[in-house]
Each structure stands twice: as structure tokens, then as C-alpha cells.
Amino acid sequence: MPALILDGKALAARVRGELTVEVGRLRARGVEPGLAVVLVGEDSASQIYVRNKTAACAQAGIRTFDHRLPAATSEAELLALIATLNADPAVDGILIQLPLPPGLDARRVLPAVDPRKDVDGIHPDNVGRLLMGEPRFVACTPFGIMKLIAEAGLPLAGANAVVVGRSNMVGKPMAALLLGADATVTICHSKTRDLAAVVARADLVVAAVGRSEMIRGAWIKPGAVVIDVGINRRADGKLLGDVEFAPAAERAAAITPVPGGVGPMTIAMLLANTVTAAKVRA
């Protein structure tokens, strides 16, 4: 049987449609959800991400406050801006686009954001809440993946879930969410021995590595669910995931495409978190 293609583009469009209605209701009550987007430096991928996020907000009726700072911005200047945004009642959510340029330490900058405005879900307070099973804001990519899995009705309780990658933005919160959903979770990284054998035991694989097609199709257990977070651009411009798609799709029960799988859900969940922040304020 061919694998079910988990269509993140379609689900994200639906979520964004629902959010647009919700924003309309909030606005009718005089509550205007607002997201501050802070981009430091000239990173070209970051500029595209910020543009897409801002456009998605505008479409849903969420107001954005754009803050573009030069790469030479000092930590003190960035912290001063964050303090202003924390205190601004028109700002419900604050997004600091990563990576920060060299010279700015995300470990000192991100905790300065008010955790109640941390719609990216990466403030230590929100990460701690997630680990304790009491999430407030959850990092947008793993949050979107959980929604895709739930939408497809894929069972997680007792499943062997393997997360490849342990970043703070994706791998670690993903593992925490899967654990919270009663999966038996294994986290792999660059020092993992015999990755192929670990992946081959998985009922669910989440690949978040950033290396084109490194998860080979032949590793996938027949009937497994495969979630591909990777976005890797080939020299000819084509986007490739971290999973070798065609052979993996022959074995998997369900799989996300790249593009059109996880990526659109990440943006949708950023909007969802911003609307939640606005509702809490209201």
C-alpha cells in the first residue's frame, strides 16, 4: 500500500483559516494580536523566513512590528530592544530570528524575552514547563509535527519513537512532546552508534539533522511513520529533506514531503502561539 502523504500545506492552510476567524473575533472585542519580529544581521535564509512569517501574520490579521538591526548590534542594544518589547502592551509575541550573528550569544539573549511573550517556545521557563508536562508555549516545529500526527490519527502510546537530532529548537522539544504522548523515545545525534539499526526499530522516525537524505529509505521499518524536518537546498535549487523520500515512502505507512510537510506547519503554529498569547492578555 502506498504511504499516506502527510500534507502539511493543506493542514497549515486550514489552521491558518481557523486562526483568521479567531483573530477577527478578538479584534471585534478590541484585542489586536501583535507579533514583534526581530532580525539581526543580513542572513539571507533568515530574511526569507522572516518575510514568510510576516506575510502569514498579515494574512491572518495579526499585526507585526518589524525590527531589523545591523549585524554589528551590541548585546546591550538588543537587550534594550527586548526590554521595550516586553513592556509594550501592543506586543503579544516576540520572535528573535535565529541564528544571531557572531558576537551575540543566544543563551543570554533568549532568556531576556518575557516567557509570556515567548511564542517560539524556547525560553528556559517554557522549556522547563514542557519537560514537566505542563506546556505553555511549545516550539513551533515540534508543535506542528504533533498536530500533523494527531490529524492523521496516528497512535503514539507505546510506540518506539526515534528522534534524530537534539537541537533546542527541534530535537529536544520533539522528544519531550512524544514522551508526553506516551511514546518510548530514543534521541539520536552525531555520536550515536549504528544509527541505521536504531532507526530500523522505530515505529515513528523524526529526522531533524540538516543533511540531505542521510536517513536511507532501506532503514525504515515497514509500516513506520516518517517525519522529515530537514530543509536542504541542492546546488540546482531543489529542496531535499533529511530522508531519502522515494524508497522511504515505499516502506512507510505515512510520510511528510519536503517541501509541503513540516515547514508550513511551523509557521501556522507561530501564528497559533501568538493568538494564544493575545487571548491570555485579553
Q: Which residues would be at the binding site for ligand NDP (CB under 6 A)?
A: 141, 164-167, 169-171, 188-192, 195, 208-211, 229-232, 262-263, 266
Write the DSSP symbol of residue 165: -
Cα angle value 205/166/12 (rounded, 5°)? 60
Residue 93 or 171: the one with the smaller Cβ distance to ligand NDP is 171
* Integer CA distances (angstroms), 273 to 32, 119, 207, 248, in order: 14, 5, 24, 32
Comparing CA positions, the residue from 229, 253, 204, 259 lying closest to residue 142 is 229
Comparing CA positions, the residue from 171, 116, 122, 114 lying closest to residue 145 is 171
Reduced to 3 states, what is the DSSP secondary structure of residue 129? helix
Residue 194 or 236: the one with the smaller Cβ distance to ligand NDP is 194
Residue 81 or 240: the one with the smaller Cβ distance to ligand NDP is 240
Looking at the annotation, which residues are catalytic? Answer: 53, 97, 120
> Shortest approach of ligand NDP to residue 126 CB, angstroms?
17
Report the Cα 247 to chain-centroid distance in Å. 26
> Shortest approach of ligand NDP to residue 94 CB, angstroms?
18
Residue 116 or 217: the one with the smaller Cβ distance to ligand NDP is 217
> Shortest approach of ligand NDP to residue 139 CB, angstroms?
9
* Residue 99: cis peptide before it, omega within 30 degrees of 0: yes
- The secondary element (H helix, E strand) that includes residue 240 is strand 239-240
> Shortest approach of ligand NDP to residue 70 CB, angstroms?
24
In 110-220, where does DSSP find H-type helix?
124-131, 140-151, 171-180, 195-200
Q: Which residues pair with 80 in a beta bridge?
A: none
Residue 91 or 138: the one with the smaller Cβ distance to ligand NDP is 138
> Shortest approach of ligand NDP to residue 164 CB, angstroms?
5
Comparing CA positions, the residue from 212, 135, 217 lying closest to residue 174 is 135
